[in-house]
Amino acid sequence: MGSFDGTSGIERRGCAGFTLVELLVALAVVAVVAALAYPMYSDQMKKGRRAAAQAFLVEVASRQQQYLIDARNYAVGAGAIAALSLTVPPEVAQFYTVNVEPEVVTNPPTYRLVAAPVEGSDQASDGSITLDQEGSRTRGGVAGW
């Protein structure tokens, strides 16, 4: 019987890195995780941009109520947002076109705020977001946000 000296009789060569197989397995794992995570990330970004547009529409609706008290009608048409002393935030303007309908003052006073997704943007499949003077909300033609 020999004494135990910690050697097994096999000499190890200098191993200072990873094998090609180990690198390919690690790369495959990262690719699978990225493939699963990116769609979820993209959906969350879309929801965040939608929430920003909805918040802006609520702010415009609030200003419309104040405007109605002062002017006895709502600000409508192309210059309505400017008449309410508002500007569309950049994070909304990049993905939505915000309009105030109708183009002319009506009797009784009405308005409908429309945030239409910009064609070719990530929000294009989202559908238009609307809010009217009665508080009715739709997204993509379906009631509610």
pLDDT tens digits for 55-103? 999 999 999 999 999 999 999 999 999 999 999 999 999 999 999 999 9
**How many whole angstroms separate alpha carbon 60 and alpha carbon 66?**
10
Determine which of 11-15, 41-45, 50-54, 119-123 has the lowest per-residue pLDDT on average.
11-15
- Pick 20-143's CATH classification: 2.70.150.10, 3.40.50.970, 3.40.50.1220, 3.30.540.20: 3.30.540.20
pTM for this predicted structure: 0.78
CA 36/CA 45 separation, integer angstroms: 15
Across all residues in the chain, what is the average pLDDT? 91
The pLDDT tens digits for 8-31 are 556 656 667 889 999 999 999 999
What residue segments make up the domains of the chain, in order of their start? 20-143
With 0-12 / 13-18 / 19 or more C-beta atoms within 10 angstroms meaning exposed / middle / buried, residue 131 is buried
Question: What CA–CA distance (Å, rounded) separates 5 from 3?
Answer: 6
